[in-house]
Structure 1
Amino acid sequence: MSGKYGFWTLTFLVIANMIGAGVFTTSGYSLADLGSPEQVLWAWLAGGVIAVTGAISYAMLIRVMPQSGGEYLFLSRAAHPLLGYIAGWVSLIAGFSGAIAFAATALEGYLLPEQLRPEWMPAGIVTIMAIVLAGFFHGLHPRIGAATQNIAVSVKLVLLGTILVFAAYQWFSGDLVAHSPARETSPDATPWSHWTAFAGSLVWISLSYSGFNAAVYVADEVVDAKRVVPRALVAGTLATTILYLCLNAVFVFAPPMQSIVGKPDVAAIAAASLGGNGFAHFVRWTIALCLLTSVLSMMMAAPRVYAKMADDGMLPAWMRFRGEAPFAATVVQIVVAVTLVLISDLQGLLSYLGLTLSLSAACSVCCLFLPSIRNSPHAAPKLWLIAPAFYVVATIVSAGIMTSNDPKQLIATGLTFLVGGTMYALTTRRTTDQGPPSSN
């Protein structure tokens, strides 16, 4: 297959995967926990550092294994096929499907609020249309899909930049006064409770940084993947981190603190504080575009994982690439995502999705310490292992805090891994009985 994706397409893919609903909703909750806009920004900076070290780690992995497949590929090749299969199972059932369904549902909420939806139009119709159209572009016309995504991400960045320029103009003209009241410290507060609250907020903020690894899922379709994919991973993650810090500075400093504490629509409140209802509507449409590009980018990346699993005989052969795109795998992704939209309470799935995906990513990064990777001529120098070590430790600490606050999340993740292991046993038994997959 001839490569067709270059540096900018991959960088935009990373940015589109990362910038979703989280950056526009999380800071209100973080402010309630931390009590200070400055602390919220420090938490976003910490999340960005973790994401950048994750991007560096995945860049090191892709240099050794420059193929599509993501966590499934890395764990299957470097550790054990069982671990790879479980990672692929998590992507199919929880990770990509849940994230696509959530982003598309949020998109409908911004484009067509319930009070504005006509009585004849059923809820969820815009959500399903967004998923199907995204699958159509990337499943049938990948070149058109990539071009559409690049244009949409470019427009999105211009709109987000417009928000920042407008805020800066308001600041320098004296029309905007930053609201940063002194932190109210509880008499019972201790340094440990402060750091616990900080780490707890970081768990939610880290979900907004997920997607830094998006470019690895299409590595087979990239010219010179060993060089281009690592550059796109790091560039896209750095750009998103800087943008997140600037946006959240506006979100937490522009409006009065009491108006956004614990609120999910912190971006809309900040926009209304900056420029009234008209500017708030502008921000609403910008957020809708951000969510649309998230759906497009995940629909581009996800089917590549299933196609790689089909190549290895872990999924039916009809899910392999056919021509320029994994059409059948894309159809499966559409069906699973739409099913989740119809049957799930997606907000209840967010913590579960974040935990399972973060653990899957951490397991993949751990492959960098295995002999199968270290003995490769393309392995990074030992000094570079500082980045993956930091990423793994930070992820485990965040997951530990999340599960200590809600142990049920660990049970759900454990059941997911157990079901994946069971499916692997059934799949390998069937493959053994039927013989190796055909190369046709």
Structure 2
Amino acid sequence: MPSNRRLGLFSATTLVVASMLGSGVFTTGGFLLQQLQSPWLVLLAWLIGGMLATCGALSYGALARRLPESGGEYFFLSRTVHPAAGTMAGWVSIVVGFAAPLAATALAFGEYLRDWFPRSSPQWLGSALLCGLALVHALRMQRGTHLHNLTVGVEVLLVITFSALALSSLPPGTTMRAPPPTAAAGEFAVGLLWVSFSYFGWNAAVYVAGEVRDAERNLPRALVIGTALVTVLYLALNVVFVFAAPWQLLAGSPEIGRVAAQALGGARWADVLTALIALILAASVSAMTVAGARVYARMAADRELPASFRLHAGVPRLAIAVQCGLALVLLWSASFQSLLTYVGFTLNLSSAATVAGLLRIRLREGRQLRIVGWPWVPLTFLFGILWMTWSAVVRQPVESLWGVFTLAAAWCLWRFARIARGG
């Protein structure tokens, strides 16, 4: 067994859970209520989002059994479609998949703690979180893994406890007073794209596949178990959020969790939920720090990046440092809401291309490549992604064009690198 395969099923699963339990679930609900104007449609969007994420996890699990190495979409697309597709996905993962969500999550962390630390801006609080966790993971992988596992276990227990208490405290008859669903299909698809931002992370374990023991068996299990658990937690949290107060009060609020807690239990509940959210956001930054740096390392191993980005003593220290630097730049120059559609649009296209690569090798290798739910699971995932992205192009063309520009820039980087190497 390779010495660098240090992560077991539990660690891989907690990586998935922590990557998904980020800032999105505590901010997206308010925007969804404003877009859909119905708590029931908001809950339906979270349910369908979880189903699509599960289909994606099952598809990626099949790829992980076939190609159990680190690198995520970059590695998969390089091997199943073309090196250009892999490099494009790698650059998308570096900038859109990790640096931007790291910045957004750290900014949300600072916003939630702003009242507790009035002398520090959200940007400074978020920067301290990014740098501190980068230092922990750069010094020693195993130490970071233990911290990460402990944090995720505590946060899941706290989310379950809060959800149970909050559900029992909901005003009687609130669900009956909710307005009926009226949103158009296109508006719902755009809302589903925002929900997908919160579910990103279901594929986190594949980025560290080369460090997972018995990867062919543990990776698919980690992806599916982690995704299913987070889907249940998301549904429970959002039932609390959307029914805690009149939906008009919650619509458009970026702090829907705190507003809902305030309505249910006053300032004490709001402070308790703020502490829980801060813990969850810290765990999410920890997970993305671990997973994102492995993309750099994989690209360096394939000579798409300098060799200094490779693993050294089992840890990609330079990759962690550069990733942290990119996230800091975005933290100080962008807002969470402005990234929502852009990140969702771009990453969904990358995930769809990866599943299309799975279909390609399945048709080539036949039943030798086992895929749970073949062919409906991967096709359902692809249909859902294409529906969401097309609706975004029609209704939010500016953000979608930025996504297309990012893909085009990634292709140019691959082409220039190939020319420089004399290819």
TM-score by length of 1: 0.91
The answer (yes or no) to whether the contact 1:18–1:211 under 8 Å persists in 2 is yes
Alignment partner, residue 92 of structure 2: 90
Q: How far apart, CA to CA, are the structure 1 residues paired with 2:407 and 2:276?
A: 37
- Check if 1:138 corresponds to 2:128: no
The answer (yes or no) to whether the contact 2:65–2:217 under 8 Å persists in 1 is yes
Q: How far apart, CA to CA, are the structure 1 residues paired with 2:33 and 2:103?
A: 27
Give the aligned residue type for 2:402. Answer: A
Q: How far apart, CA to CA, are the structure 1 residues paired with 2:295 and 2:50?
A: 26
Alignment partner, residue 10 of structure 2: 8
TM-score by length of 2: 0.94
Deviation at 1:14, TM superposition (A): 0.5
Deviation at 1:122, TM superposition (A): 5.5
Q: 1:180 to 1:277 in 2, by over 3 A?
A: farther
Task: List structure 1 runs of 4+ shifted beyond 4 angstroms.
Answer: none
Alignment partner, residue 24 of structure 1: 26
Alignment partner, residue 104 of structure 1: 106
**Aligned counterpart in structure 2 of residue 38 of structure 1, from 30, 37, 40:** 40
Alignment partner, residue 342 of structure 2: 352
**2:421 partner SS:** helix
Within 5 Å, give how 1:219-368 maps onto structure 2. 219-368=209-358
The answer (yes or no) to whether the contact 1:179–1:254 under 8 Å persists in 2 is no
Deviation at 1:331, TM superposition (A): 1.3
Alignment partner, residue 151 of structure 1: 150
- Check if 1:429 corresponds to 2:419: yes
**1:61 partner SS:** helix
Give the aligned residue type for 1:68. Answer: S
Q: How far apart, CA to CA, are the structure 2 residues paired with 1:7 and 1:30?
A: 34
Q: How far apart, CA to CA, are the structure 2 residues paired with 1:347 and 1:145?
A: 30
Alignment partner, residue 117 of structure 1: 118
* 1:158-217 CA-partner distances (Å, limit 9, x unpaired): 21112122124435xxx65535425268xxx7xxx5323322221211211111000000
Q: How far apart, CA to CA, are the structure 1 residues paired with 2:421 and 2:368?
A: 32
Give the aligned residue type for 1:155. Answer: V
Deviation at 1:157, TM superposition (A): 1.0
Name the stretch that deviates more: 127-136 or 73-82: 127-136
Q: 1:353 to 1:47 in 2, by over 3 A?
A: same
Q: Could you say what the CA RMSD is over the residues aligned between the two structures, in angstroms?
A: 2.0
Deviation at 1:303, TM superposition (A): 0.8
Q: Quote the sequence identity (%).
A: 37
Q: 1:401 to 1:330 in 2, by over 3 A?
A: same
Deviation at 1:64, TM superposition (A): 0.8
Alignment partner, residue 178 of structure 1: 174
Gaps of 5+ in 1: 434-440
Q: How far apart, CA to CA, are the structure 1 residues paired with 2:38 and 2:335?
A: 31
Q: How far apart, CA to CA, are the structure 2 residues paired with 1:7 and 1:339?
A: 34
The answer (yes or no) to whether the contact 2:18–2:287 under 8 Å persists in 1 is yes
Q: 1:15 to 1:350 in 2, by over 3 A?
A: same
Q: 1:371 to 1:26 in 2, by over 3 A?
A: closer
Q: 1:18 to 1:280 in 2, by over 3 A?
A: same
Deviation at 1:410, TM superposition (A): 2.7
Alignment partner, residue 75 of structure 2: 73
Q: How far apart, CA to CA, are the structure 1 residues paired with 2:199 and 2:275?
A: 21
In terms of Rg, which structure is larger? 1
**1:124 partner SS:** helix
**Aligned counterpart in structure 1 of residue 386 of structure 2, from 359, 383, 396:** 396
Q: How far apart, CA to CA, are the structure 1 residues paired with 2:65 and 2:261?
A: 42
The answer (yes or no) to whether the contact 1:373–1:379 under 8 Å persists in 2 is no
The answer (yes or no) to whether the contact 1:177–1:254 under 8 Å persists in 2 is no
Number of residues paired by the alignment?
A: 421
